[in-house]
Amino acid sequence: MSAPADALEGWAPIRVHEGNVPVVEWCWLDGIGFDDPFFVQTVERAFRTPFSLLFRRETPIDALAGLPPGLEPTGFIFHGSRCGSTLVSRMLAAASRMLVLSEPLPVDQVLRASASERERTRWLQAIVAALGRPRRGERSYVVKFDAWNACSLGLVRRAFPDVPWVFLYRDPLQVLVSQFRQRGAHMVPGALDPVLFGLDRAAVIRMPPEEYCARVLASIYRSALEHRDDRAFFVDYRELPGAVFERILGAFGLDCDEAERARMHELAGLNAKNPNLLFSPDGQAKEREATPALREAADRWVRPLYEELLAC
Amino acid sequence: MRERDRARDHPEVDSLEQFARFRRIVLADPALEQRLQGIADWPSFLDAAIGAAAEHGIALSETDVLAARKQATRSWLERWV
């Protein structure tokens, strides 16, 4: 159901439906913060309330321009997946008055919409502003993008040229072993349009999975390197969690007090995606688990780019 | 197709249409919206929704609300499809 802008207090955009004019779907979230490791988990938590599940509002995407302006983004996080980005976003979220959105679905949807780059740029600005409306007195606002959104960095930088961004990367073999244990959407052939990664649709069908995944990761690393600018900060997984304090807080212009830093340290010892578990480094286990085919694919397609990232 | 036949052949569609009518009324009525927003459990919500719908002349049943719940859940889970 369509809604006037002033009826959206306490509601949040949760997804975008494509059409001649994209429609934004809003969910009643009042009282619930984006405290979960991922955006969709918070939405699903809201769905436990019957009203939130059953009643949604809808607005044409152009109506977002009529909303009170949200916070200006403080920083963006891009990553190669399995590189510690959830840890970083969780640590930043420990700071008070900080709104951190982790892989918000509407952002990915406008980035991958079937529309001109000009339209997608405008929609991205609108949806980031709508998501950034402070709900609990937040003053800073960080968006962690989906891994494959790094392939849209050109568009994001044009939409938000002044926002500092961090790119998190990791030894490609460790990323690929993790993906082979449990794949993200971008590592499942056909789940996302392979053209996004510069791959031919027909060729992907016959491609060995090791090669497909390695080339997707290579495309993400390459895009990050190509869009490197004076607002970019590249962080290797091995630099975490220290790099949060030493580089990322400064890159985003954030000033945290001792209590906030203590909370961040505490979070660094927990498993970011499941805060009920303690974090345990598993890099060596991943190395042992790697098959020869995966090693070869990592070395051939991604390692040269990883070396370039290390030199940044 | 006559209304009665349609309801018999496609009961879920009929339920969803019935709930959609109720939804339009709720979202146009801030006081009713606020009342329903504050209900955390399904048994209480079912009672409140069915009662509120009746006040507006809509014969909403528990089946209608549960069909809407199923459709909303499925729509969210199918977001990747």
User: What φ, ψ does residue A71 adopt, rounded to 5°?
Assistant: -65, 145
Among the residue ranges A4-8, A134-138, B8-12, the one predicted with the least confidence is B8-12
Q: Which residues contact B2 (CB under 8 A, 6 or more apart)?
A: none
Per-residue pLDDT tens digits for A179-203:
999 999 999 998 999 999 999 999 9
Q: Is B1 a residue whose pLDDT tops 50?
A: no
Structural domain that includes position A181: 70-97+139-310
pLDDT (0 to 100) of residue A268 = 86
How many domains are contained in chain A? 1
Residue A220 distance to chain B (closest CA, Å)? 21
A55 vs B27, B73, B79: nearest CB: B27
Task: Report yes or no on A17 lying in a domain.
Answer: no
B37 vs A51, A57, A105: nearest CB: A51
Cα A5 from chain centroid (whole Å): 27
Q: What is the mean pLDDT of residues A208-232?
A: 97
Q: Is A112 a residue whose pLDDT tops 70?
A: yes
Contact: B39, A51; criterion CB under 8 Å: yes
Say how many residues make up chain B. Answer: 81
Task: Report yes or no on A25 lying in a domain.
Answer: no
With contacts defined as CB-CB under 8 Å, which chain A residues touch B26? Answer: 55
Task: Report yes or no on A129 lying in a domain.
Answer: no
A53 vs B27, B41, B72: nearest CB: B72
Q: Is A273 a residue whose pLDDT tops 90?
A: no
Mutation choice for A interface testing from B34, B37, B81 by most A CBs within 10 A: B37
Contact: A53, B69; criterion CB under 8 Å: yes
Question: Cβ distance A131 to A70 under 8 Å?
Answer: yes
B68 vs A3, A54, A57: nearest CB: A54
Task: Report yes or no on A47 lying in a domain.
Answer: no
* Residue B26 contacts A where some CB pair is shorter than 8 Å: yes
Q: Is A65 a residue whose pLDDT tops 60?
A: yes
Token pair 């993790």: residue: A178
Residue A24 distance to chain B (closest CA, Å)? 14
Contact: B37, A28; criterion CB under 8 Å: yes
Domain of A81, CATH number, reads 3.40.50.300
Residue B63 distance to chain A (closest CA, Å)? 14
Task: Report yes or no on A10 lying in a domain.
Answer: no
Per-residue pLDDT tens digits for A71-102:
999 999 999 999 999 999 999 999 888 999 99
Could you give the ipTM of this predicted complex? 0.88
Contact: A1, B65; criterion CB under 8 Å: no
